[in-house]
Amino acid sequence: METQKLFPGKFFISQVLDMLEYKSEMTGLTKRRYLMRAAMAGVVVGFFYVGNYTIQAGFDDIDLGVEEDLLPLGKMLGSAFFGFALVFIYFSKSELLTSNMMIISIGHYFRRVSARASSRVLTLCYLGNFLGGLAVAGMLAVSSIISVEAMGLMEESVEHKLAYITDGPGGWLDLFVRAVFCNFFINLAMLMAYNGSIKDDLMKSIAMIASVFVFAYLGFEHSVANTVLFSVVGLQEGIDLLPAAGNVAVALLGNFVGGGILIGLYYAYLNDEAGYMRRHPELRGGGGAS
């Protein structure tokens, strides 16, 4: 049997390992430029996340004259709008922490990156994402861009997110599971963008928008998005830092499991041709795999 049939994701793995190589080199040689790439991702997340809440607030303000309101429709459209953030990050070659979790995990599986290099990539990426989001939060704090209604929805969201931590172990587990699902869907879309099966940029964009829509609409937890949201609300209304830090910490762990393990290590194992051949030497040679 041809190995292409056994390991159809070899192209995906090679693409990821190539990306890992330049990320590792960039964080080692040009840290400032890598931080700038990561900061741009934080900026994109910041503006699109604020746009999401602004859309929701706009629909919440519409009075139909009956008990029903349009907030659910606003949430649906806002979640779809937020999905474009991943598209902008992908095509601008910016660096987002959560997709790098998958890339780093695959690199470790194939022993193509050291623990020091991988921690450097993830640390600098999160720092850049945070600084970019913080810059957006600072500019919004000295402007009137965010409406009172939108800020009200953002404060409600922050209160809900902090409650995961203050509610104790049950809330921590809930937050963790939501974070796992979040990065599972994000990196499933990135796998589709990287594996060569989708040639058209429009279809790649649709896959990314759909993945973010799922996590935003269902209330999954994204560590970078939460960091940006806490920064925006914190600079304008104040925030309890300890549960906010706890939320981000649990979300980071869950995101790593969802993207790094359930997607990264999972597909690395599925496409480990060399490892499979070592365990099945009988498949080598003329009558075996090609």
pLDDT of residue 279: 77
Residue-wise pLDDT for 87-146, tens only, equals 999 999 999 999 999 999 999 999 999 999 999 999 999 999 999 999 999 999 999 999
Residue-wise pLDDT for 155-179, tens only, equals 999 999 999 999 999 999 999 999 9
Distance (Å, whole) CA 98 – CA 224: 8
Cβ neighbour number for residue 67 with a 10 Å cutoff: 5
pLDDT of residue 3: 59
Location of structure tokens 């993830």:
122
Q: Across residues 38-54, what is the average pLDDT?
A: 97
CA atoms within 13 A on the CB side of 85: 31
C-alpha separations of 253 from 190, 220, 261, 262 in Å: 19, 14, 11, 13
Q: Report helix, strand or coil for 67.
A: coil
pLDDT of residue 281: 73
Question: Tokens representing 186?
Answer: 């994000």
Share of the chain above pLDDT 70, in %: 92
Question: Sign of dihedral through CA atoms 163, 165, 169, 171?
Answer: positive
Q: Can you say whether residue 40 is alpha, beta or left, with left for phi > 0 and alpha for psi between -120 and 50 degrees?
A: alpha
- Which stretches within the chain are classed as H helix? 3-6, 10-29, 31-60, 71-82, 84-91, 97-109, 115-141, 148-166, 169-194, 201-218, 223-237, 241-255, 266-270, 273-279
Least confident range of 163-172, 179-188, 201-210, 281-290: 281-290
Q: Which of 98, 268, 83 is nearest to 182 (CA)?
A: 98
Question: Tokens representing 194?
Answer: 């990287």
Q: Which of 108, 132, 101 is nearest to 222 (CA)?
A: 101
Cα pseudo-dihedral 76, 77, 79, 82, rounded to 10? 180
User: Does the pLDDT of residue 190 top 50, yes or no?
Assistant: yes
CA atoms within 13 A on the CB side of 73: 8
Question: Tokens representing 8?
Answer: 């159809």
pLDDT of residue 286: 46
pLDDT of residue 244: 98
User: Does the pLDDT of residue 277 top 90, yes or no?
Assistant: no
Average pLDDT, the chain: 92
User: Does the pLDDT of residue 232 top 90, yes or no?
Assistant: yes
Task: Name the band, by pLDDT with cuts 50, 70 and 90, for residue 288.
Answer: very low
Higher pLDDT, 288 or 10: 10
Q: At what angle do helices 31-60 and 223-237 cross, to 10 degrees?
A: 70
pLDDT of residue 8: 73
pLDDT of residue 5: 66
Q: Which domains does the chain have, with CATH numbers?
A: 3-272 (1.20.1080.10)
